[in-house]
Amino acid sequence: MRILIDADGCPVTKIAEGIAFREKIPCIIFCDTAHIIKSPYAQVIICEKGLDSVDFSILNRTCENDIIITQDYGLASMCLVKKTFPINQNGLRYTNENIDSMLNSRYISRKARQAGIRTKGPAKRKPEQDEKFRRNLEKLITYIRSIEKDSY
């Protein structure tokens, strides 16, 4: 198990990195050249600027049972195929049961924006969201450790 973070615009990078450090889990932070991220613990991979370059870099490095922190439904859906555990910045786990409706919602929103309809952006982040992310990431780590232990 490792924690891979799609860090471009990710509000919980430091929280995830802190948990990874405390739990002694390898952590890799991915960002493009528009972001400068330094970490005392995690490996930082800087990708070329460009559409989906960070996503494909993450996807190419994922292994079964890795935790992928991303806001991107498309990346999450591809990671599910690789038997990883994608989770978003609010602690919502992407699963085979919920990913199709999320991708459909993203598609509908994009079509609406292309048609000139203004869509609402995300609300200001609240401390409760950080706490929910923290709790759910810790639960996910416990779960993955239990299935890894059972597989030996």
Residues 75-114: tens digit of each pLDDT: 999 999 999 999 999 999 999 888 777 776 766 677 777 7
60-74 pLDDT, tens per residue?
A: 999 999 999 999 989
Looking at residue 107, its pLDDT comes to 62
Instruction: Give the closest residue to 89 by CA, choosing from 33, 1, 5.
Output: 5
Instruction: Decide if pLDDT at 136 tops 70.
Output: yes
Average pLDDT over residues 44-59: 90
Looking at residue 65, its pLDDT comes to 97
What is the average pLDDT score of the chain?
90
Looking at residue 114, its pLDDT comes to 77
Range of the domain at 91: 3-150
Instruction: Decide if pLDDT at 149 tops 80.
Output: yes
Q: What pTM did the predictor assign? A: 0.87
Looking at residue 101, its pLDDT comes to 73
How many other C-beta atoms can be found within 10 angstroms of the C-beta atom of residue 151? 7
List CB contacts of 71: < 8 A, sequence separation 6 or more.
6, 9, 10, 88, 89
9-41 pLDDT, tens per residue?
A: 899 999 999 999 999 999 999 999 888 899 999
CATH no. for residue 32? 3.40.50
In 23-64, at which residue ranges do the beta strands (DSSP E only) sit? Answer: 27-32, 43-47
Q: What is the number of structural domains in the chain? A: 1
- Looking up tokens 């993203």 gives 106
